[in-house]
Structure 1
Amino acid sequence: MLQTNEKYSVEEQAISAKKAAKKLSLLTTEQKNDALLTIASTLENNTEYILKANEVDLKNGKEKGFDEALMDRLALSAERVKEFANGLREVAELDDPTGDILLSWTLDNGLDVKQVRVPLGVIGMIYEARPNVTVDATGLALKSGNAIVLKGGSSAISSNQAIVDIIHKALDKTPIPKEAVQFISSTDRAATQELFTMKEHIDVLIPRGGASLIQAVVNNATVPVLETGVGNCHIYIDEQADVKKAIPILINAKTDRPAVCNAAETVLVHKNWLDSHKEELIQAFNDHNIEVYGDKATVGEIPGAKPAAEKDWAEEYLRLAIAMKVVESVDEAIDHIETYGTKHSEAIISEDEQAVSRFMSLVDAAALYHNASTRFTDGGALGFGAEIGISTQKLHARGPMGLPALTTIKYIMSGNGQTR
């Protein structure tokens, strides 16, 4: 096993990353792609080593009483290792955005102007639980020419350290310096706080995790933050919804993987649709063991539904539970989403073009769906290969953040002696 970085200060690691970023920016796309493929195969070849480390985290999690959702996010398997290795291969196949000329023009004085994509520089990644983020974030950072400083949660410390050990082992065989991938192995909160304030070394911070983590970064960082968001995602089943679409979409959005941020947490059902399709909805809830927390109308119509408290409308359950409200119009659904949504992913199931148009125009979220599951708000599902997070803010990047989101622009001017 490689040595951990505990003997180095966070600042020293950030400085090393910044130096490595300079070298990384000079590499060709082919060199970066070859490095990603080398990392992918090395991870697969060391699956047993990674899983043994993961067993330590799972054992600790069980002893600490982690809930089912957290244990699911924490758990690795040979299949999951293969998945994130394949994710790196997919990233290697994507177009490299760095160096792209976005705009070009010539001024009246003959000065040529180009707007070019360039790497951000050094990315600070702060995240919880999910070890796959270590791989996804590293792959996207390196492909877009950025160094990365990783600060994973203590719950996955053994898994993350093992994965970074393997990444470093792989990078030793490539032109990318292993210092381009830094892992803060200290579980001391002070290490995270230090990362918040290193504006001279870190170009952007990306938090990925629960609401408390994200708000801690947003409220305390002096480094610019690309804010990701929790997912209180809604499915609105309109009066004109096709039941053959509505039920499968709702069940997929809720049950496919309940512990992720793009799972549905609230269903808003038009009263007239419920009057016609109540039995199908009840059967679906029962077949998939979904707990329902509802308003007065829901409790009166859905057997076993529990009265919803105010907190239920904002709850990210991350399990087989859902809040349900009966509404009388698309506008009532939109108002509810405006009040309780997190600007992540929202869906309308309807065959009414006017209702769909109104929903799409008025709902403020990073991703909107018509007759489709919210589970597609994912970098891999949308063809990005992987994602570094899902931005719910509006500046620079929004929605699943792939390679272009990890770049900025540089203006390059070329003249022939022009002065002003």
Structure 2
Amino acid sequence: MAEAEEFLAVARAAKDAATVLAPLPRAPKDAALRAIADALVAATDEIVTANADDVERARRNGTSESMIDRLRLDAGRVEKIAEAVRQVADLPDPVGEVVRGSTLPNGLELRQVRVPLGVIGIIYEGRPNVTVDAAVLCLKSGNAVLLRGSSSAHSSNSVLVRIMQEALEGTEVPAGAVQLVPGVTRESVKHLLRARGLVDVLIPRGGASLIRSVVEESTVPVIETGVGNCHVYVDADADLETALKILINAKAQRPSVCNAAETFLVHAEIADAFVPMALAALKDVGVTVHGDERIRSYGADVEPATEDDFTVEYVSLDIAAAVVDSLDEAVAHIRRYGSAHTDAIVTRSQAAARRFVATVDSAAVAVNASTRFTDGGEFGFGAEIGISTQKLHARGPMGLPELTSTKWIYTGDGHVRL
């Protein structure tokens, strides 16, 4: 069967499955998710073996260690994936929730209720845990899913999808509700991008080039997730120890993820006190600083920052840095170079915090907290489908409610319009 025909077969299977899945109540969906979690744990050795093939291929291809870390699965990570599935099963089902309702003056009872989107296509890079996270969030919210991971994780993704499909065979959720897009070529992605009518929405997760190509080339509606060029701004009224703790956590706790800090900005009034201690602490945890001229004046080990250094998502132990003369200059820098993902201020001034929150136009803004908290799990949503940086439909971490649309239902008693 040609690749295009293979794609049409799995897309139609997903469409048929979505029709069966949409009206299911919570209990059978939760039972299906728990079956998936148990099956993943039982197949740990098989998953880790398949993943080892992907990791070895990545090393042969010269992939960076930070990207290999995103790719790697071991027994502990498989258990965490399964636990995340169980957590999603425990979350409230958004389908059927009444968003708003009223009785109109003419007696019609009006309700706006949440309904599944239908078939969701996910295009993502690297991390095979996304294969499971995305699938179970879609299932819980009543959607079928078409998964197109990167070729670098194809062995892992193939095994994970097969295990999930086999687990669904004994449940009321049709196995066709979870599908892997056939093929590893660019053409297989194009089939998904052109599947208007079979796929209701696409969600890309990955780097800037992937997201841009999906947005520009897709005929299917896209929920645009964004890269994470996140900032930590240390205000003139910051507590320096608190600022240092937040900066190190935001950059170094897990540098390969989208909510890690990629730039820190320091108010000039506290630069003499804060920058030397920050440079020393960052060096201690292996972070290379790319600084502007004012930052470089505090340390010989600082790399000169280029324009690109302030726009890049490093996903590595690198960070850009600059000294600014005011909060407004920090906000202007963030608006110019940032990606509207997550930006943080460290300050003891309520006025500064309020102005920062009001003027930074990002999906998430943190006050005296690390950027690393922008995450569906940390927000209590369960495993997220992605972090949207657009302004339509959903913004920020996308949990279960963001994977639904709404339907208007009105009930009368023989009402006719006059």
Amino acid at match of 1:101: V
- For 1:343, the equivalent position in structure 2 comes to 340
CA distance in 2, matches of 1:33, 1:106: 33
Amino acid at match of 2:113: V
- For 1:385, the equivalent position in structure 2 comes to 382
- For 2:113, the equivalent position in structure 1 comes to 116
Q: Deviations over 1:292-339 (max 9, x none)?
A: 111111111123101111111101111111100001110110000000
2:349 aligned to 349, 352, 360, which one?
A: 352
- For 2:138, the equivalent position in structure 1 comes to 141
Q: Which runs of 5+ in 2 are unaligned?
A: none
Map 1:12-411 onto structure 2 (within 5 A): 12-411=9-408
Q: Percent of counterpart pairs with the same letter?
A: 51
Deviation for aligned residue 1:218: 0.2
CA distance in 2, matches of 1:278, 1:103: 51
Deviation for aligned residue 1:278: 3.6
CA distance in 1, matches of 2:24, 2:2: 26
Q: Deviations over 1:229-267 (max 9, x none)?
A: 000000000111111210010000000110110000000
Deviation for aligned residue 1:354: 1.2
Deviation for aligned residue 1:380: 1.0
Deviation for aligned residue 1:274: 1.6
- For 2:409, the equivalent position in structure 1 comes to 412
Q: State the secondary structure of the residue aligned to 2:297.
A: helix
CA distance in 2, matches of 1:407, 1:256: 33
Deviation larger for 43-52 or 283-292: 283-292
CA distance in 2, matches of 1:217, 1:282: 38
Amino acid at match of 1:358: R
Q: State the secondary structure of the residue aligned to 1:301.
A: coil
Native 8 Å contact 1:161 1:185 kept in 2: no
Q: Which runs of 5+ in 1 are unaligned?
A: none
Deviation for aligned residue 1:5: 11
Native 8 Å contact 2:266 2:275 kept in 1: no
Cα RMSD over matched residues? 1.3
Deviation larger for 41-50 or 299-308: 299-308
Deviation for aligned residue 1:6: 6.4
Deviation for aligned residue 1:194: 1.2
Native 8 Å contact 2:26 2:93 kept in 1: yes
Q: State the secondary structure of the residue aligned to 1:333.
A: helix
CA distance in 2, matches of 1:370, 1:81: 33
Native 8 Å contact 1:292 1:322 kept in 2: yes
Pairs aligned (count):
417
CA distance in 2, matches of 1:7, 1:53: 26
Q: Deviations over 1:47-99 (max 9, x none)?
A: 00000000110111011101122111111111111111111111011110100
Q: Deviations over 1:139-190 (max 9, x none)?
A: 1000000000001110000000010111011101111111000101301211
Q: State the secondary structure of the residue aligned to 2:271.
A: helix
Amino acid at match of 2:106: N
Deviation larger for 103-112 or 335-344: 103-112
CA distance in 1, matches of 2:46, 2:4: 23
Amino acid at match of 1:322: I
Native 8 Å contact 1:5 1:183 kept in 2: no
Native 8 Å contact 2:147 2:180 kept in 1: yes
